[in-house]
A and B are shown apart, each in its own frame.
Chain A
């Protein structure tokens, strides 16, 4: 069955440090993959998306993600984290052949001053 997995429930980093949030997917064909961010009590905001082509995708707020087929991963990265990046991050992708998304369970990021 198709799945999107985020292995880390919580991650804590210091402000200014680099960040990598993991996302693993299980798909048959080339997947479409998305990263969203959610601040407390808010809706989800799209950070970036991968459809095809260049495997390194740039997004908003200085985030990027790299699609690695060999590792079935689509990890989100940021070279220097800001306190305002503290939020919950979701990886997602459409269920093959449908309009439904599969969401990971989210990774909550805490940023230490």
Chain B
């Protein structure tokens, strides 16, 4: 079955640690996205990538970093510079990265800072 997988489902981070969230898709989609979801705030875009080896900052990129070395993979690193990282993180992909392409979402990773 084609789809988007995110791992781990739950992640705990200590103060000062960097952590990496995995996102893999086997839909052969060109574009991939990372969103942060907080209660009552909807989804906010962290980073997006339209093609391999290229990515752009979204609305809340500070304290986060990404890479796009392979078409199917778009890992997100939450660095120690992110002061309030506790949130639900969603990865998405869309076919060609064209405007208004439908985005498909993974199951999410819940990150908690201890």
Contacts and interface: CB of A to CB of B under 8 A. Distances in A.
Interface of A: 9, 32, 34, 36, 41-46, 49, 51, 90, 92, 94, 97-101, 103-106
B90 A46 contact: no
Given A41-B88, A44-B105, A99-B98, 9 more contacts: A32-B99, A32-B100, A34-B102, A43-B105, A44-B92, A99-B101, A103-B42, A103-B43, A106-B42
Contacts of B74: none
Contacts of B98: 99
17 contacts: A32-B100, A34-B102, A41-B88, A42-B107, A43-B4, A43-B6, A44-B43, A44-B92, A46-B102, A51-B100, A94-B100, A99-B31, A99-B99, A99-B101, A100-B58, A103-B42, A105-B41
A101 B104 CA distance: 12
Contacts of A98: 99
Looking at chain B, what size class is its interface with the partner chain? 20 to 34
A87 B41 CA distance: 16
Given A34-B102, A51-B100, A99-B48, A43 B41 contact: no
Nearest to B10: A41
B25 to A, nearest CB: 12
Interface of B: 4, 6, 31, 40-43, 45, 48, 50, 58, 88, 90, 92, 94, 97-108, 110
A38 to B, nearest CB: 8
Contacts of B48: 99-100
A101 B90 CA distance: 13
B108 A97 contact: no
A18 to B, nearest CB: 25
B40 A105 contact: yes
Question: What 4 pairs between A and B have smallest CB-CB spacing?
Answer: A32-B100, A43-B105, A44-B105, A103-B42
B36 to A, nearest CB: 11
